[in-house]
Homo-oligomer: A and B are copies of this chain.
Amino acid sequence: MEQETIVITDVAPRDGLQNQAVAISTEGKLELVRRLAAAGVRSVEATSFVSPRAVPQMADAADVVARLRGELPDLRLSTLVPNRKGLERAHAAGAPEIAVVLSATETMNLRNINMDLAQATAVSEETLAHARELGLRTRAYVAVAFVCPFEGEVPLSTVVRLAQRMREAGAQEIVIADTIGAAAPAGVKARIAALADTFEIDRLAVHLHDTRGLGAANAWAALEAGVRRFDASVGGIGGCPFAPGAAGNLATEDLVLMAEQSGFATGIALEGLLDAVGYAESLLGRPLGGRSSAWLRRRYGAEPVT
């Protein structure tokens, strides 16, 4: 029987690093991506074209994109852009793919970018449309698509409506994000089912955080619902700056372990991911790793930093 394939976008270089207290050199970021690529990762969210004043960690976005394109031309590179200005910087740097982020609630948008939901939606739509005119590949995140830290449970109908708006504005891939890691598997199943009624499930990706230890269970619920595209972050690095209570992303190694042991092909080697985790630990100076990491390290004889 032919194995089904899942596509994992490693978001450690962007979602993982953006809030770290330690400033990471451009060379450090490139080396992390090199190690991910060596492990078999074929898609990364490389950086973010946000204001360097707001997020100094991402000030080298143009350099990161240019150098990765030169060094790893076959790696799929996505870059976050907050608006048309960010898009223009991304395009000038040679970014082949951009992603916009639309939070699903009024309060999250107001707190995060000082816009209401209608304004934020319009900015994302305009950015997507322009990106398509420029011939770029496009993703749109629907953030806090399960629970908002300010408004609580987000209505399913809102998530479906916003996802549909992003799709119509030109997003080739819609990423449903559990930004604060508050989802449970039954909710994942219900949301995916509703979204799959709205557009092709192959356009849908899921972005999970592991705050409550349910990241892998939520990913399994999404897999069972037919999703084959996932964000994950090697070592579980990450968190959300504007969302109180957010902890790390679902770890790439946890997702790969679960998927491969369940008969899916990821193209990614666990031993290579452990090497990337070890490198990320040396960059950040602290222990990292997903829920499987104690076992993986015994299995492959790798030692965590102490």
Contact = CB atoms under 8 A, between A and B. Distances in A.
Most chain B CB neighbours (cut-off 10 Å) among A213, A243, A262, A292: A213
A4 to B, nearest CB: 11
A295 B182 CA distance: 10
A245 B296 CA distance: 11
A224 B243 CA distance: 30
Interface in A246-265: 246-247, 254, 257-258, 261-263
B214 A257 contact: yes
A115 interface: no
Interface stretch (A31-39, A62-70, A100-108, A184-192): A184-192
A219 interface: yes
A213 B247 contact: no
Given A186-B262, A261-B184, A262-B184, A254 B294 contact: no
Interface string A168-190: 00000000000001001111000
Contacts of A210: 291
**Copies of this chain held together in the complex:** 2
B258 A217 contact: yes
A109 interface: no
B263 A186 contact: yes
A217 to B, nearest CB: 4
Given A213-B216, A216-B213, A294 B247 contact: yes
Interface string A218-247: 011100100000000000000000010111
Given A214-B216, A298-B245, A185 B291 contact: no
B247 A214 contact: no
A85 interface: no
Interface of A: 181, 184-187, 210-214, 216-217, 219-221, 224, 243, 245-247, 254, 257-258, 261-263, 290-296, 298
Complex A-B, nearest 7 residue pairs according to Cβ-Cβ distance, in ascending order:
A213-B291, A186-B262, A184-B261, A213-B292, A216-B217, A217-B217, A217-B220
30 contacts: A184-B261, A184-B262, A185-B220, A185-B262, A186-B261, A186-B262, A186-B263, A187-B261, A187-B262, A212-B292, A212-B296, A213-B257, A213-B292, A213-B293, A214-B254, A214-B257, A214-B261, A216-B216, A216-B217, A217-B217, A217-B220, A220-B221, A221-B224, A224-B224, A243-B298, A246-B294, A246-B295, A246-B298, A247-B294, A247-B295
